[in-house]
Amino acid sequence: MLQKSLTPQQLRQLSPTSLAYVGDAVYELYVRQRYLFPPRRTHRYHQQVVAQVRAERQAEQLRLIQRDLTDEERDVIRRGRNATTRPPKRLDPKIYQEATGLEALIGYLYLTDSERLFELLSRFNFED
């Protein structure tokens, strides 16, 4: 991964929405990499990735790992959920909050503990 180590002080300065911003990018890149094989047309890659990075799907993934999270990880998710802005009209606000919480957790773990991040990502259920 490309991250530069952050000091604990720098990490505390990041808002939950900043963590979710990073987490969104990390999650999408992870999903894109997961669907590289078998090789297929770019349009098909796009369809598969979009299906997995939708807020509804992210909320489902969060439910899969919820019981295995540490108190610190649950706190990051809670902060991410509480920091959400107005969801898209098509989306239930609760789903949007859960997805943002997951993205905040992914961003946080990307910056602090990539081993734990990949441990949790490996538990996700991706549809082929």
Q: Where are the domains of the chain?
A: 15-121
pLDDT given at position 89 = 78
Per-residue pLDDT of the chain (128 residues; tens, 9 = 90+): 555 678 878 888 899 999 999 999 999 999 999 988 888 899 988 999 999 999 999 999 999 999 999 999 999 999 999 997 777 778 898 999 999 999 999 999 999 999 999 999 999 998 76
Return the closest-CA partner of residue 57 out of 83, 91, 84: 91
What's the burial of 102, exposed, middle or buried (CB within 10 Å: 0-12/13-18/19+)? Answer: buried
Catalytic positions are 24
pLDDT given at position 3 = 56
CB atoms within 10 A of CB 48: 18
Topology of domain 15-121 in CATH is Ribonuclease iii, N-terminal Endonuclease Domain; Chain A (1.10.1520)
The pTM of this model reads 0.90
For the stretch 3-8, contacts whose Cβ atoms lie closer than 8 Å and that sit 24 or more positions apart, written own/partner, are: 3/110, 3/111, 3/114, 6/111, 6/112
